[in-house]
Structures are given as structure tokens and as C-alpha cells.
Amino acid sequence: SKDDFDLAAVYVSDAQYNRNIFFDTTPQAIRLYLLYNHWGLHILVYTFIVVDLALAIFEDPAVFPLPIWATTLIELVCLTAFTVRLVHYAKVIPRDRFWKDPKNICIIVVIVLSLVDIIIYGSLKATGFFAVRWSRVLRPLLLVNITEGRQLRRAFRSIRNALPQILYVFLLFMFSVLMFSLMALKLFGKKGLTTNDGSPYFTDYLDIVFDLYVLVTTANSPDVMMPAYNSSVFFAVFFIIYILINTYIFMSVFLAVVYNNYKKHLKEEVRQLVRAKRHKMVRAFGVLQERKGEEGPVVTQASWNQLVRLVQPGISNAHRELLWSVSDDNNKGCIGKVAFVQLADLLNMQVIVVKSRPHPLQMWLPSLYLSSPSRLVCRMVRHRFFVYAFDLIILINTVFIGMDEENPLISNAEWAFLALYILEILFKLYTFEPRAFFSRHQFWNWFDTLIVISALIATIINSVLKSSGGYTSRQILDIVFILRVLRLIRVVDSIKRFRAIINTLIRIGPTILTFGQLIVVIYYIFAMVGMELFKGKIRFFDAESTDPDKAFCGNPLLKNSLFAKLNYCKNNFNDVISSFILLLELTVVNQWHDILFKA
């Protein structure tokens, strides 16, 4: 029946995308489940999460302040959306399963706490009291706990699994740092050495521990070593052994532990995924199986065709027939369980269908498109010297970009280059079939076209602004510059070895995306806490300001500090963007000790 096919299609699709949801098998629940998995809803959920997280830009302390009622309204809309999505999920899976899953509980708790916080914050603010929006720390938890966050949860699980081993290595590492610090205290404490700014060198145990801990990240090398080294060459050996053991050897052990744990964990996860996939495919087979002759249950080609059409509506007949001929290699007209189970993997394989469709112009104006001048143009565009010619043009363009753009010759040449690039794209579109030219895997064609068209638009806007009032928008000019330089990247595609490296980078894109989400979750939590604790502690004054507080970033504690001297005032927790940039700087590790001292 139709319902059976729907159920089987859901099993196959779950197997294909590694979804692990224990849904109700009633026809109504299945239809809801199909809706739940619709890609449009996935995008909607992520949009609401991004909006919810981005609220931090507009909430106090804000980059762009909005009134409280506005941000509250947006947040309520987001919370409603999350609630609706959760109710939808509750209708799809059995009730007891729903309440047993900690992910659902976590989402409910986040929503309820956010509501409570909004009410408390609103009423406190209305009555003029001090209030903190503490529930904002919980927002990133939504990103982790929604059904779509499977990859992200896997990444967090990997980290959690490696933690105990990492902890022991870290303890041993700390023991080593403490021992070395004790040795440093004994060796240097009584020598009366001074640092470069005249303060006593290595006389306090806790200061030594901090200095040597910073040295592990190499951030204060070689300054921390110089006073001892100046006193005797042999003391340098102490620091070299320290760096060797604590930076290189321990970091290697750390990496080895993390890597081995990750590999072990990944193997186990993959094994579970394969098992779950097989299990789902066996269920789909159970739904569609028929008895035919003596050979046990089978699925007929007709059922199989209907199933595949349901699972992947856009599949071409040729592709479907290819998959069937792979499954039914003996041409029996039906397949057993073993062959059926492969379907999910077969559907995941990328079959690139090279459609040698004729060019649309050939259909509309055959006499013109097939005339000998037109053919000559096509031959010319396909020739490798066409590629060389444009590589040369890019190189010349590079030189022009490097020169002063206020010279009228240079700025007019820019128009010529733009025209050449547009001409190139038009020529290619004339020669190659446009749908093939803009197919999904043609990364560089997309890249080229987008960059050139954006550059054209930005350049036109810029020159219109300039000629209308003599006024040039700085932002638009910056965008024009960036687009111009980005265009040059195309030259990389002409070198085969570079193309291979770039393709590798594109292939690891999804992993980087998961890792990026993980970083956002962690940074967001730190940024929220940091903002509540440190907002307004440090102020940034712009270059023209003559405020006397400018010399110490508006905080008397920073008088004469290295932090103020290095002009680090903008490294603060005053709004969410500053916080993110500060956290990134701390991750990069250099000078982190100077930055941290402000707290």
C-alpha cells in the first residue's frame, strides 16, 4: 500500500542520511516525520538560531543598541519557533521516547529559563534595578541539542571521551612545570638578577610558575630567559631543557593522546552508524518483502522502482536503472535482503551524469551557431592558449592593482580589465552549455562569475557616487579593492598541483564547518560571561580624542601598564564583537599574558 511505501522510504532515507530517530510508524506520524525532515524547515531552524545568537549584537552592552522591547520581541519569536519545532518532534516520536531523551529536556529547560529570565530582567529594568541577562549563556546549547546538530554532538562526544586521558597528561605536565619552577627559584632567586625593567627576577614562586607557564606557549620567549642567560651561558640550558620537555615533548604526548582517542572513538562511532544503517534497511526490506518461488523473501523491481522514486524524486530513469542493474546482477527481476540493504549506500554515491546536451543557441539559431565564424570562436575558446592569455591578463592586472589607483590611467585601465573578464565569461557561456557551465561541481566558474559581477556592480556604484557629488564611500571602495584582489586567485586553478590542494581543502569543508560551530558554542558562552563581568572596565578612545583617561584606557588600574602602552584598549569585553575578537587573539596565544593582566 501507499503507507507501506512511505514507511519504507522513510527508513531508506534515514539510513541514507544517518538519521537516528525512533519515529512512530502510524501513517499520520510518518507524514509528519517527512515534513519534519524537509530541508526548508532545517534552514528555518538554523535561521532562528542564528537570529537568537545574533541578538547579543543588539542587547546591552550592544554594538548597535536596540530598545529592550525590540530585542525581547525577536527573542520571543525565536523561542516560539523552537517550541513549535519541539512540539512537532513530540508528535513524530512515541511519548515515552520523547521524555527519555535528554536533548529534548535540555531544549525545554533552555526555553523555560529564557522566558523566566526575560520576565525577571524586564520587571527589574522597568523598576530601575540592576539586572543581568544570565540566560544568554544557554543559547548555544540549542545549537548542540537540536536534531540537526548530530555532527556537532559527535564532536563534543569525541572531546569528552578524550578528557580523562588528557587530564592525566595535563597533571603530569603541571607537575613538571611546578618542579621546574622550584628549581628556578632555587637557582635564580638569590642571585640578585633583575629583569629588563629593573624589577627582581624569579624571586617569588607563584610568579615563576606563571612566567614558566607562559613560556610553554612561547609567548614570552626569549625575554624571560635573557636575565639568566646574561648572567651565565649555562642557565640557558635550563630554559632550553624546559622548553624541550614542556613545549615539545608534552605537546607531542598531548597530540598523540587526543589523536589516538579520537581515532578509537571514531572507529566505534562508524561501527555503530553502519549497524544502525543496516538495521533500518532490514526494516524497509521487511515492509516491502514478498514471497516469490522458493528462495525466501524478495523485493520486486516494481516495488523497488516506486521506493526509489519516493526516496529521491529527482532521480533520472537512467540513473535508477543503473542502480537496479548493480543490485540485481543476475537479472532475476527481484532482489534479496543482502542486495536490498546496499541501496542506501548506492543512493549516496555520486553519479555524475554527463549530459551532452546541445547548446541552447544551437536550438534557437542553428544556422548562426553552426556557421564557420561561430565554430572558429568556439574552437578558440576551447584552445589552451585562451587560458594562457587570461592568466597573462591576470598577471598584468596584478601589477596594475599594485600601483597607485589615484592615477587616472590606472583607474581607467580597471574598466578595461573588468570588460575583459566579462568578455571571458560571455565567450565561455557562448561555447559551453550554460547549465553544464554552472553545474554544482564547477566551483571556479561560480567563483569567477560572482566575483566579476560583484566587482562590476561595486565599481559602477563607486563611480556614480564619485561623479555625482565627488564623494567616495570608503566602505564601497574597500569592497571594490577586495573583489579586485580576489579575482587574482583564479590563477591558482591553472596550476594542476595547486588545484589538487584546493580540492582537498574544499573536501574538508564540512569538517571545518562542524569545528566552527563548536568554536562558536564555546566562544559564545565565554563572551557572555566575560561581558557581564568586565563590560565597561576598559574604554577605547579614538585617535582624535584628547581625554586624559586615554593614556590608561579609562581604567586607573592600567596606569603605566604594558597593556595601555601597547595601545590594546580596544581588546575588551564591551560588546559581543570585541569579545569574540579578544577570545580569538587569546587563542592565537601570542602576548596573551599581557592581554589577560587587565582583568
Q: Among residue numbers 194 through 253, which ones bind Na ion (CB under 5 A)?
A: 218
CA distance 575 to 56: 8
Binding piece for its own copies, criterion CB under 8 A, among 11-19, 139-147, 438-446, 496-504: 496-504
Residue 194 DSSP code: B
Residue 381 interacting entry, from its own copies, Na ion, none, C-beta within 5 to 8 Å by type: none
Tell whether residue 240 is a contact of its own copies (CB under 8 A): yes
Which amino acid is present at 109?
A: V
Question: Among residues 218 and 232, whose Cβ is nearest to Na ion?
Answer: 218
* Beta carbon of residue 591, minimum distance to Na ion (angstroms, whole number): 8
Cα–Cα distance between 308 and 548 in angstroms, integer?
74
221 in contact with its own copies (CB under 8 A): yes
Residues 103-132 that bind Na ion (CB under 5 A): none
Report the residue from 108, 109, 131, 226 that binds its own copies according to the rule CB under 8 A.
226
Q: Give the strand pairing for 290-291 and 334-335.
A: unpaired
Q: Which residue type sits at 417?
A: F
Q: How far is the CB of 476 from Na ion (least distance, A)?
A: 37
Question: Does the protein bind its own copies through residue 572 (CB under 8 A)?
Answer: no
- Rg, Å, the chain Cα set: 32
223 binds its own copies (CB under 8 A): yes
Residue 172 binds what, of Na ion, its own copies, none (CB under 5 to 8 Å, by partner type)?
A: its own copies
Scanning 327-335, 354-362, 394-402, 407-415 for contacts with its own copies by CB under 8 A, the matching segment is 394-402
Q: Which of 393, 397, 399, 400 is nearest to 424 (CA)?
A: 393
User: Considering only residues 20, 26, 28, 218, which one is a binding residue for its own copies as defined by CB under 8 A?
Assistant: 218
Q: Where are the alpha helices (DSSP H) in 205-294?
A: 205-216, 226-231, 233-243, 250-288
Q: Give the separation between CA 581 and CA 569, rounded to whole angstroms.
A: 13
Question: Are 377 and 430 in contact, with CB atoms under 8 Å apart?
Answer: yes
Residue with smallest beta-carbon separation from Na ion: 590
| Helix%, strand%, coil% for the chain, nearest 5 | 75, 0, 25
Q: Is the Cβ of residue 401 or residue 436 nearer to its own copies in the bound state?
A: 401
Pick 481 or 534: Cβ nearer its own copies? 481
Query: Binding pattern to its own copies, positions 279-298, x when CB under 8 A?
Result: --------------------
Is 219 or 518 the residue whose CB approaches Na ion more closely?
A: 219
Which of 222, 286, 333, 536 touches its own copies by CB under 8 A? 222
Q: Considering only residues 410-469, where is the footprint of Na ion by CB under 5 A?
A: none
User: Per-residue string for binding with its own copies, 45-64, x by CB under 8 A?
Assistant: ------------------x-
Phi first, then psi: give them for residue 426, nearest 5 degrees.
Answer: -60, -45
Report the residue from 230, 316, 348, 371 that binds its own copies according to the rule CB under 8 A: 230
Task: Please tell me whether residue 590 binds Na ion under the rule CB under 5 A.
Answer: yes
Residue 196 binds which of Na ion, its own copies, none (CB < 5-8 A, kind-dependent) = its own copies
The residues, ordered by sequence, that sit 6+ positions from 287 with a Cβ below 8 Å of its Cβ are 4, 7, 8, 11
In three-state secondary structure terms, 361 is helix
Residue 504 is a binding residue for its own copies (CB under 8 A) = yes
For residue 242, the minimal CB distance to its own copies (Å) is 11
Q: CA 571 to CA 563: how far, in whole Å?
A: 9
The cell 596550476 sits on which residue? 495
Can you tell me which of 87, 174, 501, 533 binds its own copies, judged by CB under 8 A? 501
Query: What is the contact surface with Na ion in residues (CB under 5 A)?
Result: 218, 590
